[in-house]
Structure 1
Amino acid sequence: MNIRDICLGALALSMVSGAAFAGALDSPDNMAPFYADSSMKTMQPMAEFKTTFMSRPKEKQEAMKKECNDAAMSKPYAEFCANVQALGGAN
């Protein structure tokens, strides 16, 4: 086996498994309900945010809380994570 075959194999593996690395905060389907606009720039008011968050399955809530507690992951989602923290996400 030569280096080209190894590199192509690694590239194929990374492309196939790339979706597995995406977290709960990276999924537009997960995040869209928390925003008031389709461009996902304006967060819902806290009362609506809480209702939306609490309507999510417990596993998704926990995944979001976990990712918001990770400093590197939460940085791009600072406003969202601040709302999650306000709902008790720092457990």
Structure 2
Amino acid sequence: MSNFKILTTGAMALAIMAGSALAGGSTGTSALDDPAKMSPFFTDAGMKTMKSEAEFKAAWMAMKEEDRAGMMKECGDEAIAKSHDNFCKMTKQLGGAN
């Protein structure tokens, strides 16, 4: 009977975690990892080479204000900023310019 109780408890914990992720909980992914959002800032499909400062600024200004604000917020996260160092430096350089 105790094995059944352990399995039931484990299944419930898994269901709760999966439910919170589906309900909008943190999934560990960032908008900065979304190729559709990030491709305007890079010259290559692998998103390794950033466009010139002028092209970057044009792409940045073409975005909706709330999208820019969301990306700036993500760049405020130390782990995300570290993995997107050049992009976050450029957004900070632009000051999140509106």
| Gap runs ≥5 in structure 2 | none
Report which of the two has the higher share of helix. Answer: 1
Provide the rounded CA distance (Å) in 1 between the counterparts of 2:80 and 2:46.
21
Contact kept in structure 2, 1:35 and 1:43, CA below 8 Å = yes
Percent identity between the two aligned chains: 38
The aligned length equals 89
1:82 maps to which residue? 89
1:59 pairs with one of 43, 56, 66: 66
TM-score (norm 2): 0.75
TM-score (norm 1): 0.80
Computing the radius of gyration from Cα coordinates, the structure with the larger value is 2
| Gap runs ≥5 in structure 1 | none
State the Cα deviation string for residues 55-77 of structure 1 (Å, max 9, x = none). 00000000111111222221100
Distance 1:67 1:47, change over 3 A: same
Provide the rounded CA distance (Å) in 1 between the counterparts of 2:35 and 2:62.
17
1:70 pairs with one of 44, 66, 77: 77
